């Protein structure tokens, strides 16, 4: 704990303040408009950070002073107790009474008062100065070992899971059944109803390309483990041969690559809290399913070096395009009856391809809808928000009219290929045109760009440009 050294929060603020002051001195030598704008923002940010630093420093000094007084009181109490014990051995009853009911009682009263003040300060936020190691300190150390965020260790599990479906719906559009099935399985596992020796959840995602199967896996990894990097993705088209099973768990002793470990087992051993995505599972060799059976049944796997890898804190997701033509034929099952008919047909195709003992070990099989035009309109908003976030570093502000958003949704709609054509449309219709204008100097950092629909396509109008809308191919 930080008793004499500067607290981490204060140190971070001071370091950030120093970096910004260095940047400010460099910007003072520049004369362009963008540098002047950045300098003005820096001045404001430096003033805010300096105010924050001063407040933290005052709070730290106050807590350190109170903690020092608290420590001295405890030392004085211990010394008084030693004096009482010595007086009792010498049978000096007057001194014992004086110390025990006078000095010691007063010291303990003052100590209780100091403890109350310390507790009041802790209620106002995390203390900068600590006398003892508490739950949050232990959580932080465990977080560094396991990669689990501190907030997820300390935060109540119930509170976190209440918003799981809501969070997934914000990223995955038009797949209500899929989101609810995944959220329900995770909640069942977390509630302790499921077998503790199995993974958190295991799913097979079925449906055509571009409908959100991989995106749902990414969203789940980001929510449960605070990072999309917690997604371990394996393309099963690389495991179509019998010998490729060794790549999953590692080569046996005496074979080439024995020291490297398996692609699956090493990834989970290094990051035991993760989402594992087996993409296009129908392409894997039959021996790969023997490995999956052990993961789904026992929640563990032994790698080529004899080490047992724990899969009990993972979510296993397998995607497949089996029956995707049936989804398209049923037009995605836009109403409940059509969806149930489509689901029965797709599950029948699944049962014809996979062994029963494999399907019986999977928690849920989820059939995704084909995307509608309304779904794609919502995905347009998500994709454009990501584009705007990427441009924020250059202080470029993109504003899309409703007509421009409808135009992109219409041009990007393809019931066979899902949302993937939309990304290509945004690249060609918006990103390429914007990049050309940036290179040509027609758009500068800090500009506000309005995207609208013109006679020959989208137009980009810069607030500080030449005033002419630029239609692009």
> Per DSSP, what are the bridge partners of residue 233?
277
Taking 70 as the pLDDT cut, the residues of the chain under it are 1-5, 66, 117-137, 139, 142-160, 192, 256-258, 327-335, 463-473
Per CATH, 8-121 and 153-367 having the same topology is answered yes
Question: Which CATH superfamily groups domain 8-121?
Answer: P-loop containing nucleotide triphosphate hydrolases (3.40.50.300)
Specify the CATH class of 373-463 in words: mainly alpha
Report how far apart, in Å, the C-alpha atoms of 320 and of each of 118, 208, 289 are: 58, 8, 14
Fold that domain 153-367 belongs to in CATH: Rossmann fold (3.40.50)
pLDDT digits (tens, 9 = 90+) for 102-123: 888 888 888 787 777 666 655 4
Q: Tell me which residue of 186, 204, 80, 70 sits closest to 129, measured CA to CA.
A: 70
Structure confidence at residue 470 (pLDDT): 40
Structure confidence at residue 155 (pLDDT): 52
Spatial separation of the C-alpha atoms in residues 423 and 426, rounded to whole Å: 5
pTM metric for this prediction: 0.65
Encode burial over 192-207: b for 16+ CB neighbours within 10 A, e otherwise: eebeeebbbbbbbbbb
pLDDT digits (tens, 9 = 90+) for 390-446: 887 777 788 888 888 888 888 888 877 778 888 888 888 888 888 888 888 787 777
Spatial separation of the C-alpha atoms in residues 154 and 163, rounded to whole Å: 17
Structure confidence at residue 421 (pLDDT): 86
Structure confidence at residue 316 (pLDDT): 92
Structure confidence at residue 277 (pLDDT): 92
Domain segments of the chain: what residues?
8-121, 153-367, 373-463
Structure confidence at residue 471 (pLDDT): 41
Which residue has 């607030």 as its token pair?
463
**Radius of gyration for the alpha carbons in the chain, expressed in angstroms and rounded:** 31
């Amino acid at each position: 704990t930080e008793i004499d050294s500067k607290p981490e929060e204060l140190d971070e603020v001071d370091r950030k303040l120093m970096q910004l002051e260095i940047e400010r001195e460099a910007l003072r030598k520049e004369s362009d408009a963008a540098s002047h704008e950045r300098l003005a923002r820096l001045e404001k940010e430096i003033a805010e950070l300096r105010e924050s630093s001063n407040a933290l420093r005052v709070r730290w000094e106050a807590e350190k002073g109170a903690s020092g007084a608290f420590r001295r009181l405890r030392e004085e109490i211990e010394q008084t107790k030693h004096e009482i014990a010595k007086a009792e051995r010498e049978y000096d009853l007057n001194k014992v009474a004086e110390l025990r009911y006078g000095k010691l009682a007063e010291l303990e009263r003052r100590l209780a008062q100091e403890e109350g003040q310390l507790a009041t300060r802790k209620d106002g936020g995390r203390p900068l100065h600590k006398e003892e190691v508490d739950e949050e300190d232990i959580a932080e150390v465990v977080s560094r070992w396991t990669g689990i965020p501190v907030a997820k260790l300390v935060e109540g599990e119930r509170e976190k899971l209440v918003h799981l479906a809501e969070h997934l719906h914000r990223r995955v559009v038009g797949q209500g059944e899929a989101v609810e099935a995944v959220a329900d399985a995770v909640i069942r596992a977390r509630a302790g109803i499921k077998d503790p020796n199995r993974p958190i959840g295991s799913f097979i995602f079925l449906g055509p390309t571009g409908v959100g199967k991989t995106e749902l896996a990414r969203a789940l990894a980001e929510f449960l483990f605070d990072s999309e990097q917690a997604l371990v993705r394996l393309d099963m088209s690389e495991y179509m041969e019998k010998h490729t099973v060794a790549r999953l768990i590692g080569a046996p002793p005496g074979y080439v690559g024995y020291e490297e470990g398996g692609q699956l087992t090493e990834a989970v051993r290094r990051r035991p809290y993760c989402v594992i995505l087996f993409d296009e599972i129908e392409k894997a060799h039959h021996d790969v399913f023997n490995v999956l059976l052990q993961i789904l049944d026992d929640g563990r796997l032994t790698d080529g070096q004899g080490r047992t890898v724990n899969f009990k804190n993972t979510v296993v997701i397998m995607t497949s395009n089996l029956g995707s033509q049936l989804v398209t034929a049923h037009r995605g099952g836009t109403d409940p009856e059509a969806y149930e008919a489509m689901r029965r047909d797709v599950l029948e195709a699944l049962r014809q391809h996979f062994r029963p003992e494999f399907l019986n070990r999977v928690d849920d099989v989820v059939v995704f809808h084909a995307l509608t035009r309304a779904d794609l309109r919502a995905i347009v908003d998500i994709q454009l928000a990501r584009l705007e976030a990427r441009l924020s570093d250059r202080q470029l502000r993109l504003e899309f009219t409703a007509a421009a958003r409808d135009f992109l949704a219409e041009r990007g709609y393809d019931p066979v290929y899902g949302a993937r054509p939309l990304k290509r449309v945004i690249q060609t219709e918006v990103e390429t045109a914007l990049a050309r204008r940036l290179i040509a100097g027609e758009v500068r950092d800090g500009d506000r760009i309005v995207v609208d629909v013109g006679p020959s396509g989208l137009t980009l109008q810069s607030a500080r440009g030449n005033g002419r809308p630029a239609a692009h191919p």
